Amino acid sequence: MFQLRSLIVKSRAPFVANLRVLPISTDIYFRATITRSRSSTAYKKQTPSNKKWKPSEFHIPNKFSTKDENAKYSYEAVSDFRDKLLYSLKDNEMYERAKFLSVPHSLYFSELQNFIKLASQDKIDSISIDTIRDSLTRGGEAEASLLTMPAYLHYLAKEFPDRMTKFLTTKSFVSTENVHLVYLNARAMRRKIIMHVGPTNSGKTYSALKRLEESFNGIYCSPLRLLAHEIYNKMLSIGRPCRLITGEDRREPDEHENLDEIPRDSKNNKINTILSCTIEMVNCSSLFEVGVIDEIQMIQDSQRGWAWTNALLGIRAKELHLCGEETAIPIVQKLLSLTGDSIEIRRYDRLNELTVEETGLDGDWSKVKEGDCVVTFSRKNIFKVAKEIELASGMKCALIYGQLPPENRIIQANLFNDPNSEYKVLVASDAIGMGINLKIKRIIFESVYKFDGRLERRLTLSQIKQISGRAGRYGISKVLGLVTTFNNSHLDTVKEALDMKAGAIQRAGIFPSGRQIYKLAHAFPNASFSQIVYSIIDTYSPSDLYFLSNTSHLIQLSKHLDQFKLPKSSYYTMMCAPINHRNDFVLKMAGYFANSINNSTPLDICEIIEVPKGSIRTFETLLLVESMHRSLILFIWLHYYYPSIFWNLEGALELKLSLENFIQSGMANHKSLKAIEKKRFM
């Protein structure tokens, strides 16, 4: 039985936990809902505006008709979308955001019509068609919809500075001007930057890592925890002491059994360690001889781009290697023109040929071959496709997708890579795009469209290239890499994408520092968490060089955590915490954790989550256990910031391993998993 043991009685928080237990075969599936008591002073009735608009339907052509992939958003569609954004400024909910920054009611509404007119004529650069289209391409409607309010407030500040003093003062707290000067220690030295650019499977990262191995000391910044672990183990395997720092893991060299003693040079001096870390955990204070930043093109990521910008501008390395796509060269050059660092660009060609087959599978899964990887873009579809392939071909399928814990992804990858394994086919999401070595002979796109949470969007050039590049990798570099599609009608899209050059990255992600957030929070002592987040967004100065990262996620997270009255010193920590706001279970567990932080109440995760008994028999149960694992990762992450509250690290690590084993047992029997019929919830 799954159990979620409430700590409400212990913490005496005004919450009510409702657990509805639903027996399904021998499994127990439950829905856990946490609701704020209406008697609480923090309860606030939500009254959605009746003026909210629906997402516009963008034109998505079947083919790439231009080298600028932004063209998939037609001028008419983007213009219509902007009109709806401008109209939304009339909502009282929008004015409340302006009111928080002391914008007079009369000024806000008297100038609104004139602003809408100018913006509609494309005379406001910060909300121009090109700016909105760029934002849509990078982060979808969720990000683009946040452009309107800061554009209007900056317009008012320019026209009426005497009446916008509070706005201008707030803006100074989180100023994004001269971002490169924030890193004074890095600016005090002249670094040598070496960019290794090329397609997937070109050896660019290998060259940078060889230099890291030879260095006196160094740092490797990884986009994924899996890669950080891989480099950590690689360094230890060659006798090089290495530290590991990720959000939920800390390891010193002497903790690994492969190192019997700390290596020393010919003069008996201790050889300094290498630091392998995830990009968010980068060390910008220590001095390194060599640094490596992997997947530098992620600097444009709508949620995490700030971490790459932070590492690029802040790492104190005499020699800094950047690995990634050629599209990142222009933005890196722009940033380095401000820092004064030198740059050398090394280009690499793919080690083996990548070819698109003449025909697709014509909708027939029996044409799948050993060594194939079928890529599809929903967790539900991964299981569906795997079942159909096993029935049609008789070959067993390994599965990899984003929600699957990294440790389980490695197990599935090893099953697929092992020539003696019965798992001959891999069915995966775009999670295989980076971070896992796989012996893939052929990539098969089940579809070239992906749901982004709001709309069905065609894959970008970068996504198609990154996924396709996985074919012919890892130990079979002399073998031709093949790419095809399940539906023949999608084949031309893949061909054209691989033949085309992706557009250059125009902007780098940034986000205010913890010090800036803390300063802003104390300037508004009565402000809620979400009001602080909105004030950051609404005072952001539009830039041709930077964009504000992680905004749509933080809005959803902060609104949920408002009810827990977090101390202001915890705002930045929770902003950076690994909380998936789209996962209800994780979000509610984050509420438990936030409540413990607020009350300084020690919390033992082993009293909240238990390893299930029996076996996983439904998709819903598997999803629930994966959510439990994500909640456990969050607990471990918070332990390093609040060790006295999230104290039972040893128990959490044991529980984490047990959940991973339980998930793996469900993956082994994925063919027999069933969906819960809706009538069972009635």
The more confident residue out of 411 and 16 is: 411
Q: Are residues 327 and 385 in the same domain?
A: no
256 and 320 in one domain?
A: yes
Domain with residue 379: its CATH number is 3.40.50.300
CATH number (domain holding residue 19):
1.20.58.1080
The rounded distance, in Å, linking the Cα atoms of 575 and 594 is 12
- For the CA atoms of 356, 359, 461, 199, what is the dihedral angle to 10 degrees? -10
Separation CA 582–CA 421 (nearest Å): 35
User: Global pTM?
Assistant: 0.84
Structure tokens that stand for 392 in this block: 């049609």
Regarding whether 341 and 327 lie in a shared domain, the answer is yes
Q: Is the pLDDT assigned to residue 286 strictly greater than 80?
A: yes
Which tens digit of pLDDT belongs to each residue from 108-164?
A: 999 999 999 999 999 999 999 999 988 888 888 888 899 999 999 999 999 999 999
**pLDDT one-digit tens code per residue, 513-537:** 888 898 899 889 999 999 999 999 9
Least confident of 332-341, 387-396, 610-619: 610-619
Domain that holds residue 531: 69-176+512-557
The verdict on 487 and 551 lying in the same domain is: no
Q: What average pLDDT does range 373-399 have in this prediction?
A: 93
**Whether residue 214 sits in one domain with residue 157:** no
* 495 and 449 co-located in one domain: yes
570 lies in some domain? no
Is 247 part of a structural domain of the chain? yes
Structure tokens given for 550: 């992680």
The answer to whether position 129 is within a domain reads yes
Q: What is the mean pLDDT of residues 414-420?
A: 94
Encode pLDDT of 545-555 as tens digits. 999 998 888 99
Q: What percent of the chain has pLDDT over 90?
A: 62
pLDDT value of position 678: 39
| pLDDT of 181 higher than 60 | yes
At residue 489 the predicted structure's pLDDT band, cuts being 50, 70 and 90, is very high
567 domain-assigned: no
Residue 633: per-residue pLDDT: 95
Q: Kindly indicate the confidence band of residue 351, based on its pLDDT and cuts at 50, 70 and 90.
A: confident
Residues making up the chain, counted from first to last: 682
| Stretch 11-32: mean pLDDT | 30
Greater confidence (676 vs 267) lies with 267
pLDDT digits over 355-383, tens only?
999 999 999 999 999 999 999 988 889 99
Residue 434 has pLDDT above 90, yes or no: no
Whole-number Å distance between alpha carbons of 512 and 516: 6
25-28 own/partner pairs: CB under 8 Å, 24+ apart: 25/617, 25/618, 26/614, 26/615, 26/617, 27/612, 27/614, 27/615, 27/616, 27/617, 27/618, 27/621, 28/1, 28/2, 28/612
Residue 61 forms part of a structural domain: no
228, pLDDT greater than 70: yes
pLDDT at position 453, please? 63
208 shares its domain with 326: yes
Q: Do residues 465 and 502 make contact, with C-beta atoms less than 8 angstroms apart?
A: yes
- pLDDT confidence of 67, banded at 50, 70, 90? very low
DSSP 95-119: HHHHHHTT--HHHHHHTHHHHHHHH
Say if residue 335 is in the same domain as residue 384: no
Residue with more model confidence, 340 or 450: 340
> Whole-number mean pLDDT of the chain?
84
**Domain co-membership, 421 together with 532:** no
For residue 1, tell me if it sits in a domain: no
CA atoms within 13 A on the CB side of 622: 26
Same domain, 30 and 155: no
Query: Which residue reads 């990000």 in tokens?
Result: 143
Q: Does residue 457 contact residue 26 with C-beta atoms inside 8 Å?
A: no
pLDDT class of 586 with cuts at 50, 70, 90: very high
The answer to whether residue 365 sits within a structural domain is yes
Strand partners, 193: 320, 343
What whole-number distance in Å separates Cα of residue 361 and Cα of residue 428?
A: 17
Q: Is residue 529 part of a domain?
A: yes
Which of 290, 313, 347 is the endpoint of a domain? 347
| pLDDT the model gives residue 473 | 66
The domain boundary, picked from 331, 347, 363, lies at 347
Counting the structural domains of the chain, the total is 4
Q: Work out the average pLDDT over 257-267.
A: 51
Residues 153 and 241 in one domain: no
Q: Which of 282, 317, 347 is the last residue of a domain?
A: 347
Neighbouring-strand partners of residue 250: 245
Question: At 675, is the pLDDT very low, low, confident or very high (cuts 50, 70, 90)?
Answer: low
Residues 280 and 378 in one domain: no
